[in-house]
Structure 1
Amino acid sequence: MQLIKITEENKIPSDFENTPVWELIAYQNLAAEFKTYNSAQLLIGMCMDNRKQLRIPENFAYMIRTGGANLRYSEFKVSYAIAIGEVKYIVLIAHDNCGMVNLISKREQFIEGLCKNANWNRLRAEEHFMNYAPMFEIDNQVEFVLNESKRLAQKYPGVKAVPLLYSIDDNMLSVILE
């Protein structure tokens, strides 16, 4: 597996030339001038983490934000973007320091937080965590979006699914190549 941080235009893989993936990377990493869009060019699946903000123009993309960029439980929304929005590209963006990695280690903090902030009782908070944490925990964010992009490409063979990594420190995207 290889990560390619895009710091100049000639580093964007040629596979993405003249595609919305190229435009996304150029907007985020190279401060490309915004174009005007009347419809979405792609679907972006990315983590709900508040430390990430993409630099993209209005109407450029559908966006689904969910823990770890996990779209397994958002497939109807993905299908909608493809069927109604006519997108041909899906970009899955993982990021470093993702809270969904090793989620089980945050069990006690999660439970205590629900008790304190939502006024839940401990038993309810424990059951909630144990019911949902296994569905959302990921081992490695880069491997996860690589595998999730493969899964989506198999499910939607007419759509190109591309895994990227967002760096919290510098707000830059890297292409993930297998």
Structure 2
Amino acid sequence: MQGRSLSLAALFFCLSFFQVRCQEAKTSMHFGKEKVTHLHFYLHDIISGKKPSAVMVAHANTTEKGPTPFGSVFAIDDLITEGPEPTKVIGNAQGLYVSSGQDILSLVLVVDFGFTSGKYNGSSFSVLSRNPITEVERELAVVGGRGKFRLARGFAHLKTYYLNITNGDAIIEYDVTLLHY
């Protein structure tokens, strides 16, 4: 009797293992082989002028006089360019960022980086991450994507290329590594 129970347990183990392996095979056949893509571009976050690409849509009345704009929410539609000059536009970054630091200027970004030209035209990846903008170099999390970046995950290294401390306009250099299908 004990040998029969052991045989049944072994049979159930094998069947469950086989089922898991079949599901893995279906997933890899459906999505194909995972790819790694490296992207390099510049984001132009313009707050000043007649046609800003980032506008404040809300702020907290209680923190207006603080050292940071804590609680301020900005809607963005920033240009993404091949180089630091806005001559070759390759897409735009649309979303929100929130000033989340009370004592140190820091943002939380919820942004979709969409490409409108080149081999990634129609594809995008999304970032949901903290951006401590006072640090020279920082890393943000990539949490998704669509088109050629389907199921993307990865990270973006950022460096401030240009910052006008008077009006807040900035150009940010992005080096992005994506894992996707």
For Structure 1 versus Structure 2, the TM-score category normalised by the shorter chain is under 0.3
* Structure in which a larger fraction of residues adopt strand: 2
**Structure-2-length-normalised TM-score:** 0.24
* Structure in which a larger fraction of residues adopt helix: 1
**Structure-1-length-normalised TM-score:** 0.24
Ranked by relative contact order (alpha carbons within 8 Å, sequence separation 6 or more), the top structure is 1
